[in-house]
Structure 1
Amino acid sequence: MSGTNELDAQFALAQADVKELSERPGNLTLLRLYALYKQASLGDVQGDKPGFADIAGKYKYDAWGALAGTPQDTAKQQYIGLVESLKSGASA
Structure 2
Amino acid sequence: MPAYWISNYREILDADKLAAYAALAGPALVEAGGKFLARGMPEQVYEAGLEQRSVLIEFESVEAAVAAHDSAAYQEALAALDGGAVRDLRIVPGA
Establish whether TM, by shorter chain, passes 0.5: no
Q: By percentage of residues, which structure has more helix? A: 1
TM-score by length of 2: 0.30
Q: Greater share of strand residues, 1 or 2?
A: 2
Higher relative contact order (CA 8 A, sep 6+): 2
